[in-house]
């Protein structure tokens, strides 16, 4: 592990010589994140490294596509008032993004039992932001509890590698379904309360009628997937 | 120590296993129905199960050297699965339970795939990739149950490749046959790579691969190669997401696709790169089997889980995350 980390850091230092790396913030599923300094800014380097488990052509294709999307959509989000780290630099040939460092904690690491009312308030706000994204045809694509950072009571959305522009209700439904399922697996005993808060916020932005349509869509989506064992009869 | 006889009949396979709560497998006898053409016909499969049931039961008992009187309980997979198939197992289980006055133990088929994999790999608290003909999901234990941290939004991986195999004239099980052809492919053709957060979707990929085939521009080998490569990379990626998210250090695969060397290699490389251990369940416990129902039934009976005859109806859509797991502590 140690060896792997240092070789990845080496890789980045060779690609981008003008950054000074301080420490490893984490290895996500896709990328390595490093706290660093660039032109005097304290910033995060997100580097999508190569995955040896997948075909190289596919690997390059995915890393490039996601770097481009992440950069582009974060910039759009900023414009429409979604709280995201500021993007400082994008290199889609080398799969690197530099962005503002948010010194907070991710939602996953919150102790829910002692922070229940705060979390509920936040989820209404998160629901509102998701509503704003959807209203602007943005699908986040990866709404998990590790992809929302809290800093001094403020929310930040990160990790837009799977995001896309779309106004399809199906995609909006999947976006919310993924977030609901994340809550259900993480905080099962509170999840129905928490889900209600998300929809409260979502409806504040999109109106009751649209919110209801998306809710119905989610019910339909949930009937597929793990409830699929009956389906193969018909295939 | 509790000894349980377990019956599996949720889909293609009819099986009887005998196992103890401390993890000894005394018998694991299975017979898989292979449709002559097309996909699975639930009624034909259930007829197969009825036909082989008695023979398999006898064989399992004789291999184990137990008489049914020595057994502490009868376990049966009540779901998820195909109604007509499930009913064969349930009927036999009820009959044995009444005739020999043994407690009846309900077992969730998905939970059984997980428990046999934990037993077989020796992993205590792994992230589990459960992938078979009817299921594709990533799960791990949390707050008393197996929670879902990733799953298919439409079609299971096994079903996707089995369907493709059928379309090119290959019989069930299709996955190993498609893999054989894929090994001869070289060129990667871009295909819909559909990862959505922790979830994934296979129906678009299947449609696309079939269209490419009709087009006639690419060789079957390259199409199979690209299909397998895309499908397995997607699954490895969502497994990677779950592993990183949960911060655990053991990864295992269970279900019929655990026999796939190609898939296991990808998962192994990924796990290593995250500093985690990877082990697949052994081939004999990978596909549907009686032993996993027996072993999980023994764990359950040991924790006092039983069901009355009246309540022992089958549940084709029984979700894994609805099942309490009293034999595990957080
Ligand atoms: N701008 C930032 N400021 C502070 N921390 C960050 C920032 N961006 C990412 N992180 C931290 O790094 C982790 C991984 O980041 P990110 O989600 O972007 O990577 P990823 O590899 O796409 O992750 P995954 O695919 O596992 O969700 C986050 O969960 C968060 O803890
Ligand atoms: N050697 C093999 N390598 C890879 N895949 C295999 C192999 N043998 C069988 N399979 C695949 O495994 C799947 C069958 O899995 P399994 O025996 O667990 O039954 P199932 O009824 O589909 O399972 P479930 O109800 O648990 O979803 C099929 O898709 C089949 O093609
Ligand atoms: Mg993330």
Sign of the Cα torsion B47, B257, B164, B180 reads negative
Q: Rounded to whole angstroms, what are the CA distances from B188 to A55, A147, B191, B224, B255?
A: 8, 31, 9, 10, 27
Are B190 and B301 contained in the same domain? no
Q: Decide if B109 is inside a domain.
A: yes
Are B268 and B145 contained in the same domain? yes
Q: What is the pLDDT of residue A86?
A: 97
CA distance A208 to A216: 12
Are B135 and B240 contained in the same domain? yes
CA distance A43 to A90: 13
Res. A230: pLDDT tops 80: no
Are B170 and B296 contained in the same domain? no
Residues A137-167: pLDDT tens digits? 999 999 999 999 999 999 999 999 999 999 9
Q: Which residues pair with A37 in a beta bridge?
A: A20, A42
Cis preceding linkage at B209, omega within 30: no
Contact yes or no for A30/B245 (Cβ under 8 A): no
Is residue B272 within 8 angstroms of chain A, CB to CB?
Answer: no
Contact yes or no for A69/A160 (Cβ under 8 A): yes
Q: What's the CA-to-centroid distance between A130 and ligand 1, angstroms?
A: 18
- Where are the strands (E) in chain A, listed by range? 19-27, 31-38, 41-48, 87-91, 96-100, 105-106, 138-139, 148-151, 154-157, 164-165
B:161-180 residues touching chain A, CB 8 A cutoff: 163
Q: What is the pLDDT of residue A234?
A: 34
Residue B23 falls in which region: left (phi positive, over 0), alpha (psi -120 to 50) or beta: left
Residue of B82, B164, B196 to mutate when probing chain A, most A C-beta within 10 A: B196
Atom of ligand 2 nearest to the CA of B263: 4
Q: What is the pLDDT of residue A123?
A: 97
| Count of domains forming chain B | 2
Domain holding B183, by residue range, is 121-284
Q: What is the ipTM of this complex?
A: 0.90
CA distance A54 to B273: 13
Query: How many Cβ pairs closer than 8 A exist between chain A and B?
Result: 130
Q: What is the pLDDT of residue A2?
A: 79
Q: What's the CA-to-centroid distance between A87 and ligand 1, angstroms?
A: 14
Are B259 and B166 contained in the same domain? yes
Q: Decide if B31 is inside a domain.
A: yes
Are B270 and B293 contained in the same domain? no
Contact yes or no for B193/A58 (Cβ under 8 A): yes
Q: Decide if B330 is inside a domain.
A: no
Q: Rounded to whole angstroms, what are the CA distances from B49 to B40, B77, B282?
A: 13, 14, 24
Are B10 and B98 contained in the same domain? yes
Tell me the best of B256, B267, B296, B319 to mutate to test the pocket of ligand 2, counting ligand atoms within 8 Å of each CB and taking the most. Answer: B256
Is residue B328 within 8 angstroms of chain A, CB to CB?
Answer: no
- CATH number for B96: 3.30.420.40
Give the closest residue (by CA) to ligand 2 atom 17.
B287
Give the closest residue (by CA) to ligand 2 atom 11.
B256
Sign of the Cα torsion B150, B154, B159, B164 reads negative
Q: Decide if B216 is inside a domain.
A: yes
Residue of A3, A148, A225, A227 to mutate when probing chain B, most B C-beta within 10 A: A225
Query: Token digits for B303?
Result: 């924790």
Q: Decide if B13 is inside a domain.
A: yes
> What number of CA atoms fall less than 13 Å from residue A42's CA on the CB side?
6
**Angle between helix B175-182 and B220-246 (nearest 10):** 110
Q: What is the pLDDT of residue B329?
A: 86
Q: Decide if B329 is inside a domain.
A: no
CA distance B253 to A74: 36
Query: Token digits for B75?
Result: 């376990």
Alpha helices, H only, chain B:
42-64, 83-100, 109-121, 157-167, 175-182, 203-215, 220-246, 261-273, 283-286, 290-302
Q: What is the pLDDT of residue A226?
A: 52
Res. A172: pLDDT tops 90: yes
Are B244 and B308 contained in the same domain? no
B:121-160 residues touching chain A, CB 8 A cutoff: 133-135, 137, 142-143, 145, 147-149, 151-156, 159
DSSP 8-state symbol, B133:
S
Q: Decide if B327 is inside a domain.
A: no
Closest chain A residue to B268, measured at CA: A53
Query: Token digits for B256?
Result: 């019929």
Atom of ligand 2 nearest to the CA of B283: 1
Contact yes or no for B156/B254 (Cβ under 8 A): no
DSSP 8-state symbol, B303:
T
Cβ contact, residue pair A58, B230, below 8 Å: yes
Are B63 and B100 contained in the same domain? yes
> What number of CA atoms fall less than 13 Å from residue A190's CA on the CB side?
17
Q: Which of B147, B163, B195 shows the shortest C-beta gap to A162?
A: B195
User: First CA to last CA across chain A, in angstroms?
Assistant: 44
Q: What's the CA-to-centroid distance between B131 and ligand 1, angstroms?
A: 28
Q: What's the CA-to-centroid distance between A46 and ligand 1, angstroms?
A: 8
Is residue B81 within 8 angstroms of chain A, CB to CB?
Answer: yes
Cβ contact, residue pair A29, B229, below 8 Å: no
Number of helical H runs and strand E runs in chain A? 5, 10
Res. A228: pLDDT tops 50: no
Atom of ligand 2 nearest to the CA of B261: 3
- Residue A113, burial from CB neighbour count under 10 angstroms (0-12, 13-18, 19+): exposed
Q: What is the pLDDT of residue B35?
A: 82
Residues A6-52: pLDDT tens digits? 899 999 999 988 999 999 998 888 999 999 999 988 999 999 999 99
Closest chain A residue to B188, measured at CA: A57
CA distance B191 to B182: 15
Res. A115: pLDDT tops 80: yes
Residues of B in contact with A224 (CB under 8 A): 153-154
Res. A227: pLDDT tops 80: no
Average pLDDT, chain A: 92
Closest chain B residue to A62, measured at CA: B193
Residues comprising chain B, all counted: 330
Are B311 and B257 contained in the same domain? no
Residue A195 falls in which region: left (phi positive, over 0), alpha (psi -120 to 50) or beta: alpha
Residues comprising chain A, all counted: 235
Atom of ligand 2 nearest to the CA of B32: 17
One pLDDT digit (tens) per residue for chain B, 330 residues: 999 999 999 999 999 999 999 999 999 999 999 887 767 789 999 999 999 999 999 999 999 999 999 999 999 999 999 999 999 999 999 999 999 999 999 999 999 999 999 999 999 999 999 999 989 999 999 999 999 999 999 999 999 999 999 999 999 899 999 999 999 999 999 999 999 989 999 999 999 999 999 999 999 999 999 999 999 999 999 999 999 999 999 999 999 999 999 999 999 999 999 999 999 999 999 999 999 999 999 999 999 999 999 999 999 989 999 999 999 987
Are B27 and B109 contained in the same domain? yes
Q: Decide if B156 is inside a domain.
A: yes
Are B125 and B58 contained in the same domain? no
Cis preceding linkage at B330, omega within 30: no
């Amino acid at each position: 592990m140690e060896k792997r980390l240092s070789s990845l850091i080496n890789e980045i230092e060779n690609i981008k010589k003008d950054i000074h790396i301080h420490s490893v913030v984490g290895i996500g599923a896709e990328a390595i994140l490093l706290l660093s300094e660039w032109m005097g800014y304290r910033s995060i380097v997100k580097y999508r490294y190569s995955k040896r488990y997948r075909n190289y052509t596919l690997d390059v294709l995915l890393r490039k596509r996601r770097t481009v999307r992440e950069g582009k959509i974060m910039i759009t989000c900023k414009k429409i008032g979604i709280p995201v780290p500021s993007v400082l630099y994008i290199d889609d040939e080398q799969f690197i993004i530099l962005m503002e460092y948010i010194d907070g904690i991710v939602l996953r690491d919150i102790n829910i039992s002692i922070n229940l009312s705060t979390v509920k308030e936040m989820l209404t706000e998160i629901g509102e932001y998701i509503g704003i994204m959807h209203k602007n045809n943005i699908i986040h694509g990866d709404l998990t509890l590790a992809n929302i950072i809290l800093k001094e009571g403020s929310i930040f959305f990160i990790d837009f590698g799977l995001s896309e522009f779309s106004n399809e209700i199906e995609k909006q439904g999947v976006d919310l379904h993924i977030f609901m399922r994340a809550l259900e697996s993480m905080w099962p005993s509170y999840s129905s309360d928490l889900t209600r808060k998300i929809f409260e916020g979502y409806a504040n932005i999109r109106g009751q009628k649209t919110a209801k349509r998306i809710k119905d869509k989610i019910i339909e989506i949930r009937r597929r997937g793990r409830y699929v064992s009956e389906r193969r009869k018909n295939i | 120590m509790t000894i349980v006889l377990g019956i599996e009949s949720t889909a293609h396979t009819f099986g009887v296993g005998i196992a103890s709560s401390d993890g000894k497998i005394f018998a694991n006898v299975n017979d898989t129905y292979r449709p002559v053409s097309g996909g699975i016909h639930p009624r034909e499969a259930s007829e197969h199960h009825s036909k082989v049931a008695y023979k398999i039961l006898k064989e399992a008992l004789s291999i184990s050297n137990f008489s049914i009187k020595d057994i502490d309980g009868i376990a049966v997979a009540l779901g998820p699965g195909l109604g007509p198939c499930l009913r064969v197992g349930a009927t036999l289980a009820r009959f044995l339970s009444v005739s020999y006055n043994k407690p009846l133990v309900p077992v969730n088929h998905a939970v059984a795939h997980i428990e046999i994999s934990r037993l077989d790999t020796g992993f205590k608290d792994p992230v589990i990739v459960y992938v078979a003909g009817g299921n594709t999901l990533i799960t791990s234990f949390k707050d008393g149950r197996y929670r879902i941290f990733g799953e298919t939004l439409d079609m299971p991986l096994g079903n996707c490749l089995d369907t493709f195999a059928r379309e090119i004239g290959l019989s069930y099980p299709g996955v190993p046959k498609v893999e054989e052809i894929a090994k001869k492919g070289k060129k990667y053709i871009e295909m819909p790579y559909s990862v959505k957060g922790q979830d994934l979707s296979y129906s678009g990929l299947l449609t696309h691969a079939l269209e490419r085939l009709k087009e006639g521009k690419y060789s079957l080998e390259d199409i199979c190669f690209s299909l397998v490569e895309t499908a397995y990379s997607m699954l490895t990626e969502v497994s990677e997401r779950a592993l990183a998210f949960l911060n655990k250090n053991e990864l295992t695969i269970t279900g019929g696709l655990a026999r796939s060397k190609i898939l296991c290699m990808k998962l192994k490389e990924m796990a290593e790169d995250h500093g985690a251990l990877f082990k697949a369940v052994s081939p004999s416990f990978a596909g549907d089997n009686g032993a996993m129902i027996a072993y999980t039934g023994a764990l359950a009976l040991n924790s006092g889980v039983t069901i009355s005859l009246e309540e022992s109806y089958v549940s084709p859509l029984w979700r894994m995350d609805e099942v309490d797991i009293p034999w595990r502590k957080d």
